[in-house]
Chain A
């Protein structure tokens, strides 16, 4: 009976429908924000080139602003992404052992791209001097992922016992 219930929860169909979708969602979620940034920066660069080439800027200062326009570093978005990835990977690492490796991939990608962008693209990183609230909020949420990890492990152990 327990095996039947475990099969119904984490059977082959579950992996094909839910498991693969969660993995795919995580990979897409780790790539899409950077693609959005790349797209917006491309549009901005093209716009600056277009305005400069055809001399459409009314003043030199407006042209300078257009060239200097950069995207702002979204620290809370990075925190949210890291928390989401950690929660999902911790929750399903019992049933999908690839999850920790996927988390490593997502965080490595985030680190590499952000490192490059902070050095070359973002201009407001040094200007933003936030308090510790964001770090405290993230630190308070983190233990919840361990709780979820244990909960899923207990449920899985109960089903397969």
Chain B
């Protein structure tokens, strides 16, 4: 179960979630400004500029492949429950199958949607504390995963040793140290296109 939880959380952390404005035509130059613009540019024109958007593409691919993993785990769960049910020595085959039915349903329901919703919920506003705090949330990644102008908006400032530059450096370090940040923090070429 923890494996499923980790896969879901990891895929969620990597999935781009930028809310894009359909009326804006995101250009390559705009995509260099912020991570939000970068995601919107790649989600609208990712196929035209695959090399620039490979990071977002692989993030999406990974997050959707998690759904396939979920389906495979569902099949494995069903087979495992069916095989182990005979060990319980039920009096009749019908009773055994009924127990298999209930167990399979509960396992698949938890695996398919309960874990997904639980990972996303803001537990702090519900129960007062977040027992999932050791796991990263996507919002922690979005601000810093791609900021080509200086890893957190302080590239120039950092070169000058300013406070904003230090913040940018901290963001960059946080991004690279976070769980699931390998794709997010990969270097995107900035000047080799156009």
Interface residues of chain A, those whose CB is within 8 Å of chain B, are: 5, 8-9, 12-14, 16-18, 21-22, 24-26, 28-29, 32-33, 36, 74-77, 79-81, 83-84, 87-88, 91-92, 130-134, 136-138, 141
A49 to B68, CA, bound (A): 31
Q: How far is the CB of A90 from chain B (nearest CB, A)?
A: 11
Contact A14 to B113, CB < 8 A, known contacts A25-B67, A134-B97: no
Q: How far is the CB of A86 from chain B (nearest CB, A)?
A: 10
Please tell me if the beta carbons of A28 and B67 are within 8 angstroms of each other in the complex.
yes
Please tell me if the beta carbons of A28 and B116 are within 8 angstroms of each other in the complex.
no
- Our pick among B92, B94, B98, B120 for the contact of A18 (Cβ within 8 Å) is B120
Question: Cβ of B98: which chain A residues have Cβ within 8 Å of it?
Answer: 76, 133-134, 136-137
Question: Cβ of B11: which chain A residues have Cβ within 8 Å of it?
Answer: 21
Q: How many A-B residue pairs have CB under 8 A?
A: 115
Question: Cβ of B78: which chain A residues have Cβ within 8 Å of it?
Answer: 74, 77, 80
- Our pick among B17, B72, B97 for the contact of A130 (Cβ within 8 Å) is B97
- Our pick among A12, A14, A25 for the contact of B71 (Cβ within 8 Å) is A25
Please tell me if the beta carbons of B116 and A18 are within 8 angstroms of each other in the complex.
yes
- Beyond contacts A21-B12, A29-B71: 18 other A-B pairs, Cβ-Cβ < 8 A, are A12-B17, A12-B19, A25-B67, A25-B71, A25-B113, A28-B68, A29-B70, A32-B72, A74-B82, A75-B97, A80-B108, A81-B108, A83-B109, A84-B105, A87-B105, A130-B93, A132-B94, A138-B101
* CB contact list, B90-127 vs A, under 8 A: 92-95, 97-98, 100-102, 104-105, 108-109, 112-113, 116-117, 120-122, 125
Please tell me if the beta carbons of A84 and B112 are within 8 angstroms of each other in the complex.
yes
- Our pick among B95, B112, B125 for the contact of A88 (Cβ within 8 Å) is B112
Interface class of chain A by DSSP: helix
Please tell me if the beta carbons of B105 and A16 are within 8 angstroms of each other in the complex.
no
Chain B, 121-146, contact with A by CB distance < 8 Å: what is the 0/1 string?
11001000000000000110000000
Please tell me if the beta carbons of B117 and A79 are within 8 angstroms of each other in the complex.
no
A13 to B113, CA, bound (A): 16
Asked whether B74 is an interface residue with its Cβ less than 8 Å from the other chain, the reply is yes
Please tell me if the beta carbons of A79 and B105 are within 8 angstroms of each other in the complex.
yes
Q: How far is the CB of A105 from chain B (nearest CB, A)?
A: 16
Asked whether B188 is an interface residue with its Cβ less than 8 Å from the other chain, the reply is no
A17 to B116, CA, bound (A): 9
For chain B, the count of residues having a C-beta within 8 Å of the partner chain is 40
Contact A22 to B68, CB < 8 A, known contacts A17-B15, A77-B104, A136-B98: no
* A-B contacts, 21 listed (Cβ < 8 Å): A8-B122, A9-B121, A12-B19, A13-B138, A13-B139, A17-B15, A17-B138, A18-B116, A29-B71, A32-B68, A32-B74, A74-B82, A75-B97, A76-B98, A79-B101, A84-B109, A91-B113, A131-B92, A131-B95, A134-B101, A137-B98
Please tell me if the beta carbons of A137 and B71 are within 8 angstroms of each other in the complex.
no
Q: How far is the CB of B123 from chain A (nearest CB, A)?
A: 12
A151 to B93, CA, bound (A): 35
Closest Cβ neighbor of A131 among chain B residues: B94
Asked whether B32 is an interface residue with its Cβ less than 8 Å from the other chain, the reply is no
